[in-house]
Structures are given as structure tokens and as C-alpha cells.
Amino acid sequence: MENIKVILEKCTGCKLCVKACLFNAIEMVDKKAVIKDNCNLCGACVEACKSQAIQISKKSAESRLSGRGSEEKDLSAYKGVWVFAEQREGKVIPVTYELLGEGRKLASLLQEELSAILLGDKLDGVPSELIACGADKVYFASDPLLSHYRNEFYTKVIVDMISQYKPEIFLIGATTTGRSLAPRIAARIKTGLTADCTGLDIDTEKKILLQTRPAFGGNIMATIISPNHRPQMATVRPRVMKRCAKQDSRNGEVINVKPQLSGEGALTEILKVIKVEEKVVDLQEADIIVSGGRGLGRAENFSIIRELAEVLGGAVGASRATVDAGWIPSYHQVGQTGKTVGPKLYIACGISGAVQHLVGMQNSETIVAINKDPNAPIFNVATYGIVGDLFEIVPLLTKKLKINGVRS
């Protein structure tokens, strides 16, 4: 491998890197680490090595860029923090306010402006609300074609705005819309994009955005930078960042952007929007979640989970095993291949706590685990653990909450 090397004099043969590698890409030869071809340069070994014996380097990004003068960008021309104000049916969704809160922090660190990017149609009053919630400026593109998210139109309008106004940082909520839109924009303007960030900061010396996100299902965290491209783009996980307090007296500027769109540019047509008939509780927005796992034994037993959830006014979650077994529809699934949740209270019933599940719920404020196996890994993350038969404990809990009322 050209980009990664082991400095043999420094390598002590301690094998920490071998353990750190998720790809089995390091082996020991004569007590020295050797990087194999299947290395994907993730950098986990560099972090693990106590003797700084592993280095990952590029050929030198600067020389490469200067070698292609035409593509060289004047990075200093890019100023300000942008957040995408996602709206659905005219209503701004909660993550937007979280982005404004976080954007405010970053903008202060950079001593620059915070702007909200709003696309839609008939959104009177929304720009001023965005200003009250932290934006210095609102770039507002209004057009009937933008009323509902359509990738090709949104991408075009935002890319045009970026090339005109040159933001330094652009944050987008990691919603289905955000995660579909951001990579398309990033690929068009050929800039870096970090997905699903849970932590953002500024390296005030170099003035670059430090983007921290979980990877490998939350087994590791990675901090990522995009030093040579602008804007530095990130999608941000909902319910992680703090909103800033709303101040109706805040002043700001609304810049009306005239979108250059025509219906003929459509690549897709939205024929209709189907509302889910069944009352789907959005797990990601729920304050209380009661989840069932393999310990339930069969589909019918989910009834005891539902009963407890109902008494608590919470949502029903499920482990992957139960979804795979067809006991419950997959939109209830919590975990790596399901939803990542962070409620105030998470009650795990008969869930052993495979890594796949834990990464989806360990950010919950309070976790209660009920499992008959005292060695179940779920107890490692539980605030309160009950070792016992869920068929006894859960109905008893439901009964007592019913009789005495949920709130004291």
C-alpha cells in the first residue's frame, strides 16, 4: 500500500493494531506489523498504535491541487455557516431548530454569520421564525415546484445558491430528505460530505470544521475534516444538537432568491403521497419506547409490550430478531439496521442486547432492561436492570402503573 506505512523502528510488535483492525488487514511478520492489501485506510490502527508507528498520508493534497490550477478554489472566498431549513407541508421540522442552535455555536467560533436556506412555496412567516430561532440571514427560494422535496429541483436551486453566495459550512438534517439531497449536492460541486454527525466543532486555528460521527454501528467514532473543499458539508443526526432559545426580537435579513426552474427539468414525478393508515408512532420522536426481543417467544406475545407502551403513552420498539422472524413490522425495529432512537425512557424486554441493537438505543436517557439471563449484554447499558421472567415482570408493571397511574 502506498498511502499507509509502518515505521519498522517504532513498531514494538504489540499487536494493538491487529486487534483494532476490523478488516483483518494487518498481520504480524517477524514481530512487526504488515499492512495487507485489503486495508481500506480507515485509520483505526493509527489511533490504536501507542508508538506512532503507523502513518497514513496522501501524496500531498496541496501540490496536487496546485498542479491543476483551473480547479483550484480560493477557499477564503467562502464565508458563513448555512443550515438547511427543511419543511414538510409548510411546517419546518424540528431538526432545523437543532441545526440553527448548533450553527449558531459554530458561527460564533468563526465570528461569521449564520444563514438558513429555505425552499418551498407559500411559506409566509417562516423566515421570521427562523430568524427568531438564531438565523442572521434567510435565503428564501419560493416556487410552486419547491413546495415538496424533489431531488432535481432542490439540488439545482441549492447548488446555484452555493456558487453565488459561497458558504464555508453547510449543515443539513440527517432525515430521509437530507440524506438524499446532501450527497447529490456534494457530488455535483465535488466537495466533502460527512454523514450523520453527532458532534461538530471548529478547529479555530485552521478554521476548519471538525465533524464527529459514529461508524461501524457506533463501535467507533471518527472525526472527519474536509480541509481543501468548500463548503464543508455535513448531515446531522436529529435529536442530538441543542436548539437555541427563541427570541422574537432578533433581527435578521431575508434574501429572496429567484429560482431558475422549469417543470421540464423534472426527472421524477411524485404521483401521490400516501399517509400511513395505521397510527405509526415515530420512534425517533417518542419520549418513551417499550421494546420487545426474542425473549417474547412468539408474535402474539408482543401484546404485553403494546399494553405497557399504551399505559406509558409510548411507542413500541423491537429487536432485529423479532422483525426478521416476522413477529412485527420492520418500522418498529431499533438498532443498526433499524432506527436510532434517544427517548427519555427505553424499556428493553427480553432483548439480549446484541451490538446491533445497543447502538440504536444507548443514547436513551434512562434504560430499563428486563431479561432472564443475568449475563445479557443489555445489562451493561441499563440504568436499571431486572433479572427475571418478562412474562411476570412486564404485566405486573403494566398493572401497577394502571392502578396507581403513571404519574405520581
Tell me: does residue 34 bind other proteins (CB under 8 A).
Answer: no
Among 54, 257, 321, 328, binds other proteins (CB under 8 A): 321
**Cα(113)–Cα(132) distance, rounded to whole angstroms?**
14
**Contact indicator for 348, 376 with CB cutoff of 8 Å:** no
**Cα(223)–Cα(194) distance, rounded to whole angstroms?**
10
Cell 397510527, residue located:
279
Among 226, 289, 334, 342, binds other proteins (CB under 8 A): 226
Nearer Cβ to other proteins (255/265): 265
CB within 8 Å of 147: residues ≥ 6 apart: 90, 120, 121, 122
Tell me: does residue 354 bind other proteins (CB under 8 A).
Answer: yes
Question: In the complex, what is the shortest distance from the CB of residue 255 to other proteins, in angstroms, rounded to a whole number?
Answer: 26
Question: In the complex, what is the shortest distance from the CB of residue 102 to other proteins, in angstroms, rounded to a whole number?
Answer: 19
Tell me: does residue 156 bind other proteins (CB under 8 A).
Answer: no
C-alpha cell at 208: 476548519
Among 183, 207, 243, 254, binds other proteins (CB under 8 A): 183
Burial of 79: CB neighbours in 10 Å, binned 0-12, 13-18, 19+: middle
Among 304, 336, 341, 349, binds other proteins (CB under 8 A): 336
Contacting other proteins within 103-142 (CB under 8 A) = none
**Cα(271)–Cα(31) distance, rounded to whole angstroms?**
63
Nearer Cβ to other proteins (138/288): 288
Mask: binding to other proteins, 281-320, rule CB under 8 A, as x and -? -x-x---x-----x--xxx------------x-------x
Tell me: does residue 386 bind other proteins (CB under 8 A).
Answer: yes
Contacting other proteins within 233-272 (CB under 8 A) = 267-272
Nearer Cβ to other proteins (101/199): 199
Tell me: does residue 62 bind other proteins (CB under 8 A).
Answer: no
Question: In the complex, what is the shortest distance from the CB of residue 150 to other proteins, in angstroms, rounded to a whole number?
Answer: 9
Among 7, 75, 109, 215, binds other proteins (CB under 8 A): 215
Nearest by Cα to 49 from 89, 84, 8: 8
C-alpha cell at 207: 478554521
Among 6, 17, 20, 130, binds other proteins (CB under 8 A): 20
**Cα(113)–Cα(106) distance, rounded to whole angstroms?**
9
Nearer Cβ to other proteins (253/373): 373
**Cα(125)–Cα(130) distance, rounded to whole angstroms?**
9
Nearer Cβ to other proteins (244/394): 394
**Cα(181)–Cα(171) distance, rounded to whole angstroms?**
12
Tell me: does residue 276 bind other proteins (CB under 8 A).
Answer: yes
**How far separated are the first and last CA of the chain, in Å rounded?**
63
Burial of 335: CB neighbours in 10 Å, binned 0-12, 13-18, 19+: buried
Contacting other proteins within 79-98 (CB under 8 A) = none
Tell me: does residue 228 bind other proteins (CB under 8 A).
Answer: yes
Nearest by Cα to 335 from 306, 393, 292: 292
